[in-house]
Amino acid sequence: MMHRYIALSLLLLAGAMFSALAAPPPKPPQASANTPTPTAPNLHPKEPTPLSPGELQASIDRGVAFLVKNQNKDGSWGSAGKTKQLNIIADVGSQHAFRVAVTALCVSALIETGPNSTEAKQALDRGTAFLYEELPKVRRDNEMLIYNIWTHGYGIQALVHLYGRLPKDDKEGRRKIEDLIRGQYDRLTRYESAEGGWGYYDFDAGSQRPAASSTSFMNAAVLEAFYEAKQIGVAPPEKLVKRSVAITRQQRLPDFSYLYGTYLWQRPAVGINRPGGSLGRSQACNLALRLWGDKTVTDQVLKTWLDRLITRNGWLDMGRKRPIPHESFFMVAGYFYYFGHYYASMCIEQLKHEDRPFYQDHLGNILLAVQEKDGSWWDYPLYNYGQYWGTPMAIMSLERCRK
């Protein structure tokens, strides 16, 4: 998923770029309450080419067919098979977390699309069985590697989707899912950063509670999952929500760009924190804070960042498929591409109905243009997992482009 530091051989290449950013800063001050609404009238896109329901459906069907064809025998998706010589640090526990996380995303995507074929229903059943069995087993790999946070967040989302498929009188099935969600809350409580929120590396490893730097986009993904779970009556721990919201607000700049992590709060003008570098994060962060009651995230804020995503999509696209994280302009990493578009599609859902078609057509055109010949989508070669987060995220984004 989202990775900043890489295997030792890769660190030799990237070390110069990150050396100035590595020193842990002191705790950041509280963000100002006076957060202005950004305006960028010169970035408003032209009218999009309308997409027909048939075009959307054909693209989604190809994506679903790819997932069905490439599911593992045990019901999961993805594997530790290397897709390039240089890769991020990930031991056995991390590989397990990655596989469960992408399986959760694939399960969510299959549920959102229907599923409308016997093969897709069978794939969903196998994926569900794997998720029920393996999700409770996910832990952090070691004191430094905490990739499992992604698994807990997307696992909660998948469980909420599964909950919605059960008949209302299936009390036992619903209770099972509720217990599984609460188990993920327990993990997220254990692995919460000491400053609030979550990071995925703890370079000061040594304490039971991670001293990881909170990352804005990871916080956003977890907060969005928390909100979905709350809607089915399984409320997350209030303290976790409050601390994560607070630290994410601290990472917000006046133009609604978001710091990559709190460790960069003293360097707000570095490329990765500027609007071009935040292009794949701002949608998720704006959405999460809005869902949890932040009134400063207005419709105009959402539109402004949707406009930026569309008109400056090239900043994200130039990072897509690059094998080294953050090697592109504004230090954009490839893994932000489908992440950014996925949460942008959720931001569109927050707008008034009459404002949605403009952005739905733009987003749909972007995603249809980058679909692979085999029906998949991918943006970053992380072992053999990239297609199995890119494809479900693109599918769910296109589902939200239906008018």
Element (H, E) at 155: helix 148-165
Q: Is 215 helix (H, G, I), strand (E, B) or coil?
A: strand
Whether 229 maps to a domain, the answer reads: yes
Residue 43 is predicted with a pLDDT of 86
Boundaries of domain holding 92:
34-399
Residue 323, CB-side half-sphere exposure with 13 Å CA sphere: 13
Residue 269 is predicted with a pLDDT of 86
Calpha distance 281→215 (Å, rounded): 10
Structure tokens at 220: 């956003």
Whether 187 maps to a domain, the answer reads: yes
In 336-375, which ranges are E strands? none
Q: Note down pLDDT in tens along the chain; length 403 residues.
A: 434 433 333 332 333 333 333 334 444 444 443 444 554 557 899 999 999 999 999 999 999 999 999 999 999 999 998 766 778 888 999 999 999 999 999 999 999 999 889 999 999 999 999 999 999 999 999 989 999 999 999 999 999 999 999 999 999 999 999 999 999 999 999 999 999 999 999 988 767 789 999 999 999 999 999 999 999 999 999 999 999 999 999 999 999 999 999 999 888 888 898 999 999 999 999 999 999 999 999 999 999 999 999 999 999 999 999 988 888 888 899 899 999 999 999 999 999 999 999 999 999 999 999 999 999 999 999 999 999 999 999 999 999 999 9
Number of domains in the chain: 1
Whichever domain contains 275, its CATH number is 1.50.10.20
Whether 27 maps to a domain, the answer reads: no
Residue 89 is predicted with a pLDDT of 85
Bridge partners, 258 (sequence order): 252
Whether 18 maps to a domain, the answer reads: no
Contact assessment for residue 363 and residue 347, using Cβ atoms and an 8 Å cutoff: no
Residue 84 is predicted with a pLDDT of 67
Calpha distance 92→101 (Å, rounded): 14
Whether 359 maps to a domain, the answer reads: yes
Whether 67 maps to a domain, the answer reads: yes
Residue 256 is predicted with a pLDDT of 97
Whether 25 maps to a domain, the answer reads: no
Calpha distance 36→155 (Å, rounded): 35
